Amino acid sequence: MAEKSSLDDLKIDRSGVSDSPSGSWTWVLLLLPLAVISGLVYWLLQPEGKTVVVVVARETSLEGGQTVLNASGYVTARRKAVVSSKVTGKVLEVLIDEGMEVREGQVLARLDPSNVERSLSLAEAQLGSAKSVLAETKALLVEAKLRLDRTKALVEDDVLSQAQLDAVQAESGSLEARLARQGEDEAVAERRLDVWQQQLEDTVIRAPFGGIVTTKDAQPGEMISPVSAGGGFTRTGIGTVVDMTSLEIEVDVNESYINRVRADQEVEAVLDAYPDWKIPCRVIAIVPTADRDRATVRVRIGFDELDPRILPDMGVKVAFRETAVDQAVRRVVLIPKEAVHKDDGRDVVFVIAGDKVERRAVTLSVSEGKDAIVTAGIEGGESVVVQGPPDLADGDQVEVSSP
C-alpha cells in the first residue's frame, strides 16, 4: 500500500486548472510586445534611403551650325618686323611715327654716313688710279708691239741681231702680263667701290613690306646696331612694322577637345573690345604639335574679312561651329549642368533605376545656357539626379523628392 501512495504522489493535480479561454489570451498578451519590439528592431536595421531631387532628361534635335567648342586667344600678325639696320651707326633722322602707314621700300630712317662717304671717296680714287695705270700700260704695250714688228723686219734684213729682237719680245711680253695684272687690280677696285656703295646704302633703313608702324623705338642721336651692344645705350631697332593684311587669331585648345576642330571649320569670333560684334572666321590650320606643359594644341584662325577695328594682340573669344560631319548627328539629350559631375576626369551622372541610383558616364557637347548637351550615355525620358548628398554612390537606395 505504501508503494501505491508514492505513485499517486507523482501525478499532476489538474483539479485547480480552469478550462476557460482566458488562459490562451494570457499567452497572446505575453507574445505581442515581443513581436512589436522585433518589428521595430527590423525597421531600424533597414538601410535608410537618401533623398534626391531628379529631373527628366529631354531629347531634342540640334539645328545646323551649333557651337561644339569655345576657346579664347589673341589676334596676331603673321608678318611683323622690328626694323633695324645692317650696320652699327648713329641715327641721323627718323621719318616714322606710331600709326603711320608705310609702303615697301619706303625710307624709315637714316644713319650718319660721314665715315662711309669718306671710305667711298677713297675707293673711287683708287679705282680711278687703277684705270689710269691700266691705260698707261696699254699705251706702252702698243708701242712695244710696234717696236717688235720693226725689230723683226730689221733682223730679217740683218740690220739688227737676234739678241736685240729677243729683248724687244721680252719687253712686250712683260707689258702684256702687267696689263693683265692691272686689269685685275681695276676689277678689285671696282668691287671695293661696290662694297662701300652698299655700306652707304645700308645707312638708309627701309620698310621690308607695307604695313602700319606700331612702335617707334629710336630717336636722332642714338646709336643703333643689328645686335645688342653697349648695354642699354644701343638700340636694336628703329620701329615695328605690322602687315595688317596678315592678321589672324591664335588659340590654344586643350588636347582633350582638339578632335572637335577641323581645317576650314567655321568659327565665330568676338573681340573683347567689341562684345556685340560677331566676326565670321575659318580655321586655317591646326599646328601639328602639342605643348606638353600645358597639354594644348595651337590653332590658327583666319578672318573672312578684315576690318580696321581689328588690331594686333587684342583678346578674342572664339566659338567653333559644327561641321558637315557633325551635323549628321542631330538627336541629343538636354540635362541641367548641375546633374553632371567629374569622376576621374570623366563626366558622369546619376540615373534613377527603381529605388536606387546608377552611376553612368556620359559624353558632353558644348553647354548651352543652363543645360548640358549629352550626345551619348543616357536616353531621353530617364530621370537624372540634380541634387543629392555628397556621398551619393552607385547602387545607393534613394527617395525621390520633387524639385
Domain spans of the chain, in order of start: 51-63+328-401, 67-77+243-321, 80-112+214-242, 114-202
CA 47 to chain centre: 54
Q: In this predicted model, what pLDDT tens digit does every residue of 336-355 receive, in sequence order?
A: 887 788 877 788 888 878 77
What is the third-level CATH fold of 67-77+243-321?
Answer: Elongation Factor Tu (Ef-tu); domain 3 (2.40.30)
Write the pLDDT tens digit of every residue in 99-147.
999 999 999 999 999 999 999 999 999 999 989 988 988 888 888 888 8
Asked if domains 51-63+328-401 and 67-77+243-321 share a fold, the reply is: no
| pLDDT score for 54 | 77
Count Cβ atoms below 10 Å from residue 35 Cβ, excluding itself. 9
51-63+328-401: CATH class: mainly beta
**What pLDDT does 45 receive?**
47
pLDDT at 1: 46
Grid cell locating 32 = 505581442
pLDDT average, residue stretch 310-335? 77
Q: Which residue has the higher pLDDT, 226 or 75?
A: 75
Residue type at position 312:
P
Residue 24 makes CB contacts below 8 A (sequence gap 6+) with: none
Residue range 267-278, pLDDT digits in tens? 999 999 999 999
The average pLDDT across 378-384 equals: 81
Task: Read off the pLDDT of each residue in 327-333 and give the average, rounded to a whole number.
Answer: 62
What tens digit of pLDDT does each residue of 235-267 get?
888 999 999 999 999 999 999 889 889 999 999
